[in-house]
Amino acid sequence: MKQRQDAWSHENDLLLAETVLRHVREGSTQLNAFEEVGDKLNRTSAACGFRWNAVVRHDYEKALQLAKKQRKQRMRALGNGQPVKKQLLYTPDIPNMPESNEELDFDEQEERTMMSALESHMAEVMPDDEDVSATFYSESSQPQAEVPSMQAQVPSPSYPARSVQQGQLTMNQVISFLKSYQSSNQQSEALISENKRLKLENHELTQQNKELMKKVEKLEQDTVTVQEDYETLMKIMNRARKLALFDEEDRSASTTFKMDRNGNLEKMAE
């Protein structure tokens, strides 16, 4: 099976779980933990949050509840009964703002063009995500004919240089998010396929169970019939035993009995 290059490994899941539990336990937020893990693994905080809620959290639910309990006790001890604000444990690095008159190289210009093309796709994928929608630059006022000509000319100084600030996404982060989203879709398809297989297996087992129940009912009926035959046979044997005793007591009268096909004894003439 081919392994995706951006797939989550067991070590990545372990790092994500340890970081989230540490942030929750020490009074920080899960979002701050996602940002820290995202910087360490070169992933977006949204991708880390999706991985945590979809896969990792189910294995650490008890540990998460314990961390929340410890955070509550810690906050109560620090505040002496007064509410205490959450303190973020991680502060992302913010690169310096580039000069506005700095010329963009060809790679940056090409990346900017691709960002514009991805804007509509990201709007369909995450229509309600304010963080993602805020990171793209609106280029609706520029004519579409200018897009291919941008690669052949030097960008004008009036075009603002894209800055990487907190709350914005770089091109690599967008690509990483799309790959993570595709991976989650593949996992969903695998779960749907597994669900269909289990439903089919359940249907087959139900049919087998019905057939076995019918066989059990038939065996029970056969058992009742055998029991009735046994009781009839015992009655015949008891009657024969009693008649034999009577024959011994009355030896003077030699009497012979004959059993017919129905099991009845008939007295034979001498």
Residue 79 CB burial class (10 angstroms; 0-12, 13-18, ≥19): exposed
Q: pLDDT digit string (tens) for 40-77?
A: 999 999 999 999 999 999 999 999 999 999 998 888 88
Q: pLDDT digit string (tens) for 13-23?
A: 999 999 999 99
Q: pLDDT digit string (tens) for 232-249?
A: 999 999 988 888 887 766
Would you state the pLDDT for residue 7?
81
Kindly state the percentage of the chain with pLDDT values over 70. Answer: 60
> Is the pTM of the predicted complex or chain greater than 0.85?
no
Residue 2: C-alpha distances to residues 6, 7, 10, 231 (Å): 12, 11, 17, 71
Amino acid at the residue 58? H
Amino acid at the residue 100? S
What is the residue-averaged pLDDT of the chain?
Answer: 73
Q: pLDDT digit string (tens) for 84-139?
A: 667 787 887 765 555 444 444 545 555 555 555 555 445 444 444 434 333 443 44
pLDDT-derived band of residue 150, with 50, 70 and 90 as boundaries?
A: very low
